[in-house]
Structure 1
Amino acid sequence: MKEKVMDTSLFERLSAILSSADPRAHKARRIAELLREECGYHWVGVYEVDSAEIAAIAWSGPTAPAYPRFPASKGLCGEAVRTGEIIVVNDVATDPRYLTTFTTTRSEIAVPIKHPIIGRTIGIIDAESELPHAFAPADCNFLEDCALMLGAFIDSH
Protein backbone atom coordinates (compact mmCIF):
# COMPACT_ATOMS: atom_id res chain seq x y z
CA MET A 1 0.00 0.00 0.00
CA LYS A 2 1.03 3.55 -0.56
CA GLU A 3 2.42 5.69 2.26
CA LYS A 4 -0.43 7.58 3.85
CA VAL A 5 0.32 11.19 4.60
CA MET A 6 -2.10 14.11 4.71
CA ASP A 7 -0.13 16.08 2.16
CA THR A 8 -1.15 19.43 0.77
CA SER A 9 -2.36 17.92 -2.50
CA LEU A 10 -4.72 15.48 -0.80
CA PHE A 11 -5.94 18.18 1.59
CA GLU A 12 -6.70 20.39 -1.39
CA ARG A 13 -8.52 17.60 -3.25
CA LEU A 14 -10.65 16.76 -0.19
CA SER A 15 -11.39 20.44 0.37
CA ALA A 16 -12.40 20.85 -3.28
CA ILE A 17 -14.80 17.92 -3.02
CA LEU A 18 -16.29 19.21 0.22
CA SER A 19 -16.74 22.75 -1.09
CA SER A 20 -18.21 21.72 -4.44
CA ALA A 21 -21.86 22.26 -5.27
CA ASP A 22 -22.33 18.53 -5.86
CA PRO A 23 -25.08 16.68 -4.00
CA ARG A 24 -24.10 15.15 -0.64
CA ALA A 25 -24.10 11.52 -1.85
CA HIS A 26 -21.91 12.44 -4.83
CA LYS A 27 -19.42 14.22 -2.56
CA ALA A 28 -19.30 11.22 -0.20
CA ARG A 29 -18.73 8.83 -3.12
CA ARG A 30 -15.90 11.01 -4.46
CA ILE A 31 -14.33 11.08 -0.98
CA ALA A 32 -14.57 7.29 -0.64
CA GLU A 33 -13.04 6.87 -4.11
CA LEU A 34 -10.20 9.26 -3.34
CA LEU A 35 -9.35 7.50 -0.07
CA ARG A 36 -9.53 4.04 -1.65
CA GLU A 37 -7.31 5.06 -4.57
CA GLU A 38 -4.80 6.99 -2.45
CA CYS A 39 -4.40 4.20 0.10
CA GLY A 40 -4.88 1.09 -2.00
CA TYR A 41 -7.70 -0.20 0.22
CA HIS A 42 -10.09 -2.83 -1.17
CA TRP A 43 -13.19 -0.93 -0.05
CA VAL A 44 -14.02 2.40 1.68
CA GLY A 45 -17.36 3.56 3.02
CA VAL A 46 -18.53 6.86 4.46
CA TYR A 47 -21.35 6.45 6.99
CA GLU A 48 -23.57 8.74 9.01
CA VAL A 49 -24.58 7.85 12.56
CA ASP A 50 -27.62 8.69 14.62
CA SER A 51 -28.66 7.37 18.01
CA ALA A 52 -30.08 4.15 16.57
CA GLU A 53 -28.47 3.47 13.23
CA ILE A 54 -25.33 3.56 11.11
CA ALA A 55 -26.16 4.20 7.45
CA ALA A 56 -23.93 4.30 4.38
CA ILE A 57 -23.90 7.60 2.55
CA ALA A 58 -21.57 6.24 -0.14
CA TRP A 59 -18.79 3.75 -0.78
CA SER A 60 -16.07 2.86 -3.24
CA GLY A 61 -15.19 -0.70 -4.04
CA PRO A 62 -16.28 -3.72 -6.02
CA THR A 63 -19.83 -3.93 -4.59
CA ALA A 64 -22.24 -2.36 -2.15
CA PRO A 65 -21.82 -3.32 1.50
CA ALA A 66 -23.82 -6.31 2.75
CA TYR A 67 -25.22 -4.05 5.49
CA PRO A 68 -25.80 -0.52 4.16
CA ARG A 69 -27.82 0.19 7.35
CA PHE A 70 -27.40 -1.51 10.70
CA PRO A 71 -27.94 -0.84 14.40
CA ALA A 72 -25.48 1.66 15.89
CA SER A 73 -24.47 -0.98 18.44
CA LYS A 74 -23.33 -3.59 15.88
CA GLY A 75 -20.09 -4.37 14.13
CA LEU A 76 -16.70 -2.70 14.32
CA CYS A 77 -18.30 0.58 13.25
CA GLY A 78 -20.69 0.26 16.19
CA GLU A 79 -17.71 -0.22 18.49
CA ALA A 80 -16.12 2.94 17.07
CA VAL A 81 -19.38 4.79 17.77
CA ARG A 82 -19.61 3.39 21.30
CA THR A 83 -16.01 4.20 22.25
CA GLY A 84 -15.36 7.24 20.06
CA GLU A 85 -12.03 5.61 19.21
CA ILE A 86 -10.47 4.20 16.04
CA ILE A 87 -11.06 0.46 15.84
CA VAL A 88 -8.50 -1.63 13.97
CA VAL A 89 -8.91 -5.36 13.52
CA ASN A 90 -6.14 -6.93 11.51
CA ASP A 91 -7.80 -10.36 11.33
CA VAL A 92 -11.57 -10.03 11.19
CA ALA A 93 -12.00 -13.81 11.33
CA THR A 94 -10.95 -13.66 14.99
CA ASP A 95 -13.27 -10.83 16.04
CA PRO A 96 -16.92 -11.68 16.80
CA ARG A 97 -17.93 -8.02 16.38
CA TYR A 98 -17.17 -8.12 12.66
CA LEU A 99 -20.24 -7.89 10.38
CA THR A 100 -19.26 -9.65 7.19
CA THR A 101 -19.35 -7.16 4.36
CA PHE A 102 -17.24 -9.20 1.97
CA THR A 103 -16.09 -12.79 2.42
CA THR A 104 -12.61 -11.73 1.24
CA THR A 105 -12.07 -9.05 3.92
CA ARG A 106 -9.23 -9.84 6.30
CA SER A 107 -8.64 -6.43 7.96
CA GLU A 108 -10.90 -3.49 8.80
CA ILE A 109 -10.47 -0.02 10.26
CA ALA A 110 -13.37 2.12 11.51
CA VAL A 111 -12.59 5.79 12.18
CA PRO A 112 -15.10 8.02 13.98
CA ILE A 113 -16.09 11.29 12.35
CA LYS A 114 -16.90 13.63 15.20
CA HIS A 115 -19.11 16.68 15.44
CA PRO A 116 -16.72 19.64 15.09
CA ILE A 117 -18.03 21.38 18.23
CA ILE A 118 -19.48 18.83 20.65
CA GLY A 119 -17.23 15.89 19.73
CA ARG A 120 -20.02 13.29 19.45
CA THR A 121 -19.50 10.63 16.76
CA ILE A 122 -21.73 11.52 13.81
CA GLY A 123 -20.12 9.42 11.09
CA ILE A 124 -17.59 6.72 10.30
CA ILE A 125 -14.92 6.21 7.68
CA ASP A 126 -14.70 2.45 7.22
CA ALA A 127 -11.95 0.81 5.18
CA GLU A 128 -11.42 -2.85 4.45
CA SER A 129 -8.53 -4.83 3.05
CA GLU A 130 -8.17 -8.32 1.65
CA LEU A 131 -4.81 -8.55 3.43
CA PRO A 132 -4.35 -9.51 7.08
CA HIS A 133 -2.54 -6.93 9.24
CA ALA A 134 -3.10 -4.29 6.54
CA PHE A 135 -3.61 -1.33 8.86
CA ALA A 136 -0.72 0.36 10.63
CA PRO A 137 -0.49 3.48 12.82
CA ALA A 138 0.03 5.54 9.63
CA ASP A 139 -3.45 4.47 8.44
CA CYS A 140 -4.94 5.51 11.78
CA ASN A 141 -3.28 8.93 11.65
CA PHE A 142 -4.11 9.52 8.00
CA LEU A 143 -7.78 8.52 8.28
CA GLU A 144 -8.17 10.46 11.53
CA ASP A 145 -6.97 13.59 9.70
CA CYS A 146 -9.52 12.87 6.97
CA ALA A 147 -12.26 12.35 9.57
CA LEU A 148 -11.49 15.76 11.06
CA MET A 149 -12.14 17.32 7.67
CA LEU A 150 -15.42 15.42 7.28
CA GLY A 151 -16.95 16.45 10.62
CA ALA A 152 -18.59 19.61 9.30
CA PHE A 153 -19.67 17.82 6.10
CA ILE A 154 -21.54 15.09 7.98
CA ASP A 155 -22.97 17.59 10.48
CA SER A 156 -24.33 19.90 7.81
CA HIS A 157 -26.90 17.38 6.60
Structure 2
Amino acid sequence: MKGVGKFGEVLAGEKVAVSYDVLAERLQKIVHSGSQPKAILDFVCRELRKVPHYNWVGIYRLEGPDLVLASWSGPSATQHTRIPAGEGICGAAITEGATVVVPDVSRDPRYLQCFLNTRAEIVVPIFRDGTPIAEIDIDSERLGAFTETDRLFLGAVAEDLAPFL
Protein backbone atom coordinates (compact mmCIF):
# COMPACT_ATOMS: atom_id res chain seq x y z
CA MET A 1 0.00 0.00 0.00
CA LYS A 2 1.33 3.38 -0.90
CA GLY A 3 2.12 5.31 2.23
CA VAL A 4 2.61 2.37 4.59
CA GLY A 5 4.22 3.81 7.69
CA LYS A 6 2.84 7.31 7.24
CA PHE A 7 -0.46 7.11 9.11
CA GLY A 8 0.94 6.52 12.60
CA GLU A 9 -2.31 6.67 14.59
CA VAL A 10 -3.27 3.95 17.00
CA LEU A 11 -6.97 3.54 17.43
CA ALA A 12 -8.60 1.92 20.43
CA GLY A 13 -12.17 1.32 21.35
CA GLU A 14 -14.62 -1.46 21.96
CA LYS A 15 -12.95 -3.35 19.11
CA VAL A 16 -9.32 -4.48 19.12
CA ALA A 17 -6.82 -1.61 19.08
CA VAL A 18 -5.40 -1.25 15.60
CA SER A 19 -2.84 0.98 13.96
CA TYR A 20 -3.60 2.35 10.51
CA ASP A 21 -0.07 1.34 9.51
CA VAL A 22 -0.49 -2.27 10.68
CA LEU A 23 -3.82 -2.46 8.89
CA ALA A 24 -2.25 -0.99 5.75
CA GLU A 25 0.41 -3.73 5.83
CA ARG A 26 -2.25 -6.47 6.15
CA LEU A 27 -4.19 -5.02 3.24
CA GLN A 28 -1.03 -4.75 1.14
CA LYS A 29 -0.35 -8.47 1.65
CA ILE A 30 -3.79 -9.55 0.43
CA VAL A 31 -3.67 -7.18 -2.54
CA HIS A 32 -0.45 -8.84 -3.72
CA SER A 33 -1.44 -12.39 -2.74
CA GLY A 34 -2.86 -13.46 -6.09
CA SER A 35 -6.27 -14.07 -4.50
CA GLN A 36 -9.48 -13.73 -6.49
CA PRO A 37 -10.90 -10.17 -6.63
CA LYS A 38 -14.04 -11.05 -4.59
CA ALA A 39 -11.89 -12.60 -1.85
CA ILE A 40 -9.74 -9.46 -1.78
CA LEU A 41 -12.77 -7.17 -1.48
CA ASP A 42 -14.27 -9.32 1.29
CA PHE A 43 -10.97 -9.34 3.20
CA VAL A 44 -10.55 -5.58 2.86
CA CYS A 45 -14.07 -4.95 4.21
CA ARG A 46 -13.48 -7.27 7.19
CA GLU A 47 -10.10 -5.73 7.97
CA LEU A 48 -11.36 -2.15 7.71
CA ARG A 49 -14.08 -2.97 10.23
CA LYS A 50 -11.32 -3.53 12.79
CA VAL A 51 -10.95 0.24 13.03
CA PRO A 52 -13.06 0.98 16.13
CA HIS A 53 -15.16 3.75 14.60
CA TYR A 54 -15.85 1.88 11.33
CA ASN A 55 -19.18 0.18 12.10
CA TRP A 56 -20.21 -0.83 8.59
CA VAL A 57 -17.94 -1.04 5.54
CA GLY A 58 -19.08 -1.57 1.97
CA ILE A 59 -17.56 -1.46 -1.47
CA TYR A 60 -19.89 -0.40 -4.27
CA ARG A 61 -19.04 -0.88 -7.93
CA LEU A 62 -20.43 1.41 -10.64
CA GLU A 63 -22.47 -0.71 -13.07
CA GLY A 64 -24.16 1.41 -15.70
CA PRO A 65 -26.26 4.06 -13.95
CA ASP A 66 -26.13 2.35 -10.54
CA LEU A 67 -23.77 1.66 -7.68
CA VAL A 68 -24.00 -2.05 -6.84
CA LEU A 69 -22.82 -3.49 -3.54
CA ALA A 70 -19.86 -5.79 -4.29
CA SER A 71 -18.80 -6.61 -0.72
CA TRP A 72 -19.55 -5.55 2.84
CA SER A 73 -18.81 -6.21 6.50
CA GLY A 74 -20.93 -5.11 9.40
CA PRO A 75 -23.40 -6.14 12.03
CA SER A 76 -26.17 -6.49 9.42
CA ALA A 77 -26.84 -6.21 5.70
CA THR A 78 -28.02 -2.98 4.13
CA GLN A 79 -31.18 -2.70 2.06
CA HIS A 80 -29.26 -0.38 -0.27
CA THR A 81 -27.60 -2.98 -2.48
CA ARG A 82 -28.22 -0.88 -5.60
CA ILE A 83 -28.11 2.93 -5.52
CA PRO A 84 -28.70 5.20 -8.53
CA ALA A 85 -25.41 7.03 -9.15
CA GLY A 86 -26.95 10.44 -8.48
CA GLU A 87 -28.57 9.58 -5.13
CA GLY A 88 -27.36 9.74 -1.56
CA ILE A 89 -23.90 10.41 -0.24
CA CYS A 90 -22.59 7.45 -2.25
CA GLY A 91 -24.04 8.94 -5.42
CA ALA A 92 -22.52 12.33 -4.60
CA ALA A 93 -19.03 10.85 -4.22
CA ILE A 94 -19.28 9.13 -7.61
CA THR A 95 -20.77 12.08 -9.51
CA GLU A 96 -18.38 14.60 -7.90
CA GLY A 97 -15.40 12.24 -8.18
CA ALA A 98 -14.33 13.25 -4.68
CA THR A 99 -14.33 11.92 -1.14
CA VAL A 100 -17.39 12.98 0.83
CA VAL A 101 -17.19 13.19 4.62
CA VAL A 102 -20.41 13.77 6.52
CA PRO A 103 -19.77 14.42 10.23
CA ASP A 104 -23.51 14.31 11.08
CA VAL A 105 -25.75 12.41 8.67
CA SER A 106 -28.90 13.85 10.28
CA ARG A 107 -27.91 17.24 8.86
CA ASP A 108 -27.26 16.10 5.28
CA PRO A 109 -30.36 15.88 3.06
CA ARG A 110 -28.53 13.50 0.69
CA TYR A 111 -28.24 10.80 3.37
CA LEU A 112 -29.99 7.49 2.58
CA GLN A 113 -30.56 5.81 5.92
CA CYS A 114 -29.31 2.24 6.18
CA PHE A 115 -29.04 1.86 9.95
CA LEU A 116 -30.67 3.76 12.80
CA ASN A 117 -27.40 4.05 14.72
CA THR A 118 -25.34 5.66 11.92
CA ARG A 119 -24.18 9.16 12.87
CA ALA A 120 -21.36 9.85 10.38
CA GLU A 121 -20.32 8.59 6.95
CA ILE A 122 -17.31 8.74 4.64
CA VAL A 123 -17.39 7.69 0.99
CA VAL A 124 -14.12 7.43 -0.95
CA PRO A 125 -14.20 6.98 -4.74
CA ILE A 126 -11.99 4.42 -6.45
CA PHE A 127 -10.60 5.58 -9.80
CA ARG A 128 -9.31 3.91 -12.93
CA ASP A 129 -7.66 6.19 -15.48
CA GLY A 130 -9.10 9.24 -13.72
CA THR A 131 -12.69 7.97 -13.83
CA PRO A 132 -14.57 6.87 -10.70
CA ILE A 133 -15.47 3.16 -11.02
CA ALA A 134 -16.33 2.19 -7.45
CA GLU A 135 -16.20 3.44 -3.88
CA ILE A 136 -15.58 2.57 -0.26
CA ASP A 137 -18.52 3.50 1.97
CA ILE A 138 -18.09 3.53 5.76
CA ASP A 139 -20.67 4.30 8.44
CA SER A 140 -19.89 5.21 12.04
CA GLU A 141 -22.00 5.37 15.18
CA ARG A 142 -19.96 8.39 16.33
CA LEU A 143 -20.64 11.97 15.31
CA GLY A 144 -17.65 13.56 13.58
CA ALA A 145 -15.88 10.20 13.49
CA PHE A 146 -13.80 10.69 10.36
CA THR A 147 -10.52 12.62 10.34
CA GLU A 148 -8.04 13.68 7.70
CA THR A 149 -6.09 10.52 8.58
CA ASP A 150 -9.15 8.43 7.67
CA ARG A 151 -9.44 10.31 4.38
CA LEU A 152 -5.77 9.74 3.50
CA PHE A 153 -5.73 6.12 4.66
CA LEU A 154 -8.90 5.20 2.76
CA GLY A 155 -7.64 7.06 -0.30
CA ALA A 156 -4.55 4.82 -0.28
CA VAL A 157 -6.75 1.73 0.14
CA ALA A 158 -8.90 2.90 -2.78
CA GLU A 159 -5.83 3.25 -5.02
CA ASP A 160 -4.78 -0.31 -4.23
CA LEU A 161 -8.26 -1.72 -4.88
CA ALA A 162 -8.70 -0.17 -8.34
CA PRO A 163 -7.16 -3.11 -10.27
CA PHE A 164 -9.64 -5.53 -8.68
CA LEU A 165 -12.80 -3.67 -9.66
Same fold per superposition (TM over 0.5) = yes
RMSD over equivalenced CA pairs, Å: 1.9
Contact 1:5 1:138 in 2 (8 A): no
Q: Which residue of 2 aligns with 1:100?
A: 113
**1:76/1:110 contact within 8 Å kept:** yes
What is the aligned partner in structure 1 of residue 3 from structure 2?
none
The match for 2:95 among 46, 67, 82 is: 82
Aligned to 1:131: 142
Cα deviation for residue 15 of structure 1 reads: 2.9
How do 1:3-152 and structure 2 match up within 5 A?
7=21, 9-115=22-128, 118-152=129-163
The percentage of aligned residue pairs carrying the same residue is 38
Residue identity matched to 2:76: T
Unaligned runs of at least 5 residues, structure 2: 1-9, 13-17
Distance in 2 (CA, whole Å) between partners of 1:112 and 1:5 is: 23
Aligned length: 151
Give the whole-Å Cα distance in 1 for the aligned partners of 2:30 and 2:114.
Answer: 27
Q: Is the 8 A contact 1:44 1:126 kept in 2?
A: yes
Counterpart residue type for residue 119 of structure 1:
G
Q: Name the stretch that deviates more: 36-45 or 9-18.
A: 9-18
TM score, norm. by length of structure 2: 0.83
Gaps of 5+ in 1: none
Whether the 8 Å contact between 1:28 and 1:46 is mirrored in structure 2 is yes
The corresponding residue for 2:4 is none
- In structure 2, the residue corresponding to 1:123 is in which secondary structure? strand
Partner of 2:5: none
Deviation at 1:6, TM superposition (A): 5.3
The residue aligned with 1:2 is 11
Deviation, structure 1 residue 10: 3.3
Question: Partners of 1:114 and 1:53 in 2: how far apart?
Answer: 16
Q: In structure 2, how many angstroms separate the alpha carbons of the residues matched to 1:95 and 1:16?
A: 37
The 2-side partners of 1:105 and 1:14 are apart by: 25
